[in-house]
Amino acid sequence: RCRTGPLDIVFVIDSSRSVRPFEFETMRRFMIDIIGNLDVGPNATRVGVIQYSSQVQNIFSLKTFFTRADMERAINSIIPLAQGTMTGLAIQYVMNVAFTAQEGARPPHKKIPRIAIIVTDGRPQDRVTEVATQARNAGIEIYAVGIQRADMNSLRAMASPPLEEHVFLVESFELIQQFGKQFQDKLCGVDMCVEQEHGCQHSCVSTPGSFYCECNPGYRLNVDGKTCSPIDACADGRHGCQHHCVSVRGSYSCRCRPGYYLGQNKRSCIMIDYCSFGNHSCQHECVSIPSGHYCRCRSGYTLQPDGKSCRATDLCNGVDHGCEFKCVSTEGSYHCMCPEGQQLRADGKTCSKCGAGHVDLVMVIDGSKSVRPQNFELVKQFVNRIVDLLDVSPQGTRVGLVQYSSRVRTEFPLNKYHSADEIKKAVMDVEYMEKGTMTGLALKHMVEHSFSELEGARPLSHNIPRIGLVFTDGRSQDDISEWARRAKESGIVMFAVGVGKAVEEELRAIASEPVEQHFSYSADFTTMTHLVENFSLNICPGGKAKGREIHSLCECGALVQFQTNTVAILQSLTEKNILYARSLAQMTARLEDLEKQIANKK
């Protein structure tokens, strides 16, 4: 049996009237004997058969049968045409039809030989030379087998070179079976994959006189013609996968990112609806996200710490009320209020301001890692609420901002911005630093730089109060005592606000005297702006303030105004009504004492 590799073979059988019935039977036997010694199959040798006379008839194509038994049955059922001898027409059919991919021929790049075996007993009635040349140029190897009365010149015109290996003349039909054995040896030749070192990585395919390498499914042959590489079916970008394409041995599959599942088309990805599982326990609304779900409250409600239940909020927190200073909720409504000494304007939102109350204010905010981004945004909102109270201008109140963590950064100095809107925008643009908590380093920076005339602080001779407001949420990683002391000795009124893990001892060390009136603490950021601590200072007793002399009532008034407004911010945001009332009473009492002292001084 021939095992030199796959071939595509088409038998072209002359069934003209000159071929007698018993002679045609020997031609059947000839084809069956040769096929019987071939290794046939879809990946081995493929066989087709056509017969011709005045016309061409396809008995079976290269893709029709893949077993010898099926081929033998089809050959035995052939009915001769018994007409003329149009050999050129048959060769034309072989070239244009029989050896096409549609009829089962393997593509040229696979290098599988295409062999046509023409068996005829007479002289062609049409031209064969030109069409045979075209067929050979198309890569078809032609064997011409003449029997008895065949014309040798026509055989030589049809056959491929060398002619001595492709032209055969058999004296009679009786001898064709013996010739078949010899022709079989000629067709098969030597198995080159066995006879020499082929070097193929996967498999070697033998062809008459040569061989070629072939790769396993899912691999492609490299340019060296021997080694194989996996086919990356994802590389051409035509896979259509929405998320990820995974190449698998010549094919691919689509995969989705976590939190998604593959759609019915096996390409698109659909987010998992975790809320549909029914176990979210959200009081109002459940919102699915790729990593799971979260609860959301309807408008006018606030999500509680358990992350599931909701509580009604006052309208001041639920709407854009636009109050410049303070929003006061009432049943089903709200109204705006102004700090003491200011009048609500006709728009019902803004407040008239006293132009005499001017200060140089530097706020020093903690940007350490423990604050966390969402809480840092609350800190910035708290800063802007203070800015809203100030009459900001180059001649009025000046504001600077410093952020610190493991290092200190001036976000903007006192002389940078000249209006409240500019400052508020700059505050919201501040980027969170993270890292450590070097409060002592921040105080040093504030004393040496922030309140310098170079950065916009007005000379001490102008009697403009200097106020430092320090905000922190944890223990300092360096010593604060020295620079807290220096700040107060240099005439800076120091306020300290602590949240969360802030250390009371450190807050007291930073705050000016009386300490109880200059520091405040809140357990967490969500209640930070609801502090009801009395920041009001009795700053003008006997014409003195913080150990230094008050030179004018405007200076004293400026300090009173700032402190009063700061108290009002904290009071406006509290939810603890009892503490609010107590603090307000204390504030009122102290302010009355202050008014008496000023009146006595006059």
> Taking 60 as the threshold, does the pLDDT of residue 395 lie above it?
yes
Fold of 7-187: Rossmann fold (3.40.50)
Lowest-confidence region among 314-328, 434-448, 491-505: 314-328
How many CB atoms are closer than 10 A to CB 546?
A: 17
> Taking 60 as the threshold, does the pLDDT of residue 336 lie above it?
yes
Fold of 360-539: Rossmann fold (3.40.50)
Distances from the Cα of 104 to the Cαs of 41, 45, 213, in angstroms? 12, 11, 21
> Taking 50 as the threshold, does the pLDDT of residue 356 lie above it?
no
106-132: average pLDDT: 91
In the prediction, which pLDDT does 220 show? 87
CATH code: domain 314-353 is: 2.10.25.10
Higher pLDDT, 566 or 91: 91
Of 209-223, 267-281, 331-345, 375-389, the range with the highest mean pLDDT is: 267-281
How many CB atoms are closer than 10 A to CB 287?
A: 12
> Taking 70 as the threshold, does the pLDDT of residue 109 lie above it?
yes
In the prediction, which pLDDT does 564 show? 60
Lowest-confidence region among 12-16, 99-103, 521-525: 521-525
Cβ 98 vs Cβ 135: under 8 Å:
no
- For the chain, the residue count is 602
Per DSSP, the three-state class of 7 is: coil
Options 3.20.20.70, 3.40.50.620, 2.10.25.10, 2.30.40.10; CATH of 274-312: 2.10.25.10
> Taking 70 as the threshold, does the pLDDT of residue 150 lie above it?
yes
Lowest-confidence region among 120-134, 185-199, 208-222, 469-483: 185-199
> Taking 60 as the threshold, does the pLDDT of residue 2 lie above it?
no
> Taking 90 as the threshold, does the pLDDT of residue 396 lie above it?
no
In tens, the pLDDT along 32-45 reads 888 888 889 998 89
In the prediction, which pLDDT does 526 show? 60
Cβ 168 vs Cβ 150: under 8 Å:
no
Lowest-confidence region among 94-108, 295-309, 395-409: 295-309
* Pairwise CA distance, residues 89 & 541, whole Å: 126
In the prediction, which pLDDT does 434 show? 86
> Taking 50 as the threshold, does the pLDDT of residue 147 lie above it?
yes
139-150: average pLDDT: 88
CATH architecture of 193-230: Ribbon (2.10)
> Taking 50 as the threshold, does the pLDDT of residue 313 lie above it?
yes
* Pairwise CA distance, residues 376 & 430, whole Å: 10
pTM score, whole prediction? 0.38
> Taking 90 as the threshold, does the pLDDT of residue 416 lie above it?
yes
In the prediction, which pLDDT does 550 show? 39
- 2 by Cβ neighbours in 10 Å (0-12 / 13-18 / 19+) ranks as buried
Contact residues for 240 (Cβ-Cβ < 8 A; gap 6+) = 254, 267
Of 76-80, 110-114, 189-193, the range with the highest mean pLDDT is: 76-80
* Pairwise CA distance, residues 600 & 602, whole Å: 5
Rounded percentage of the chain residues whose pLDDT exceeds 90: 42
Structure tokens at 385: 């609420």
Mean pLDDT over the full length of the chain: 82
In the prediction, which pLDDT does 441 show? 96
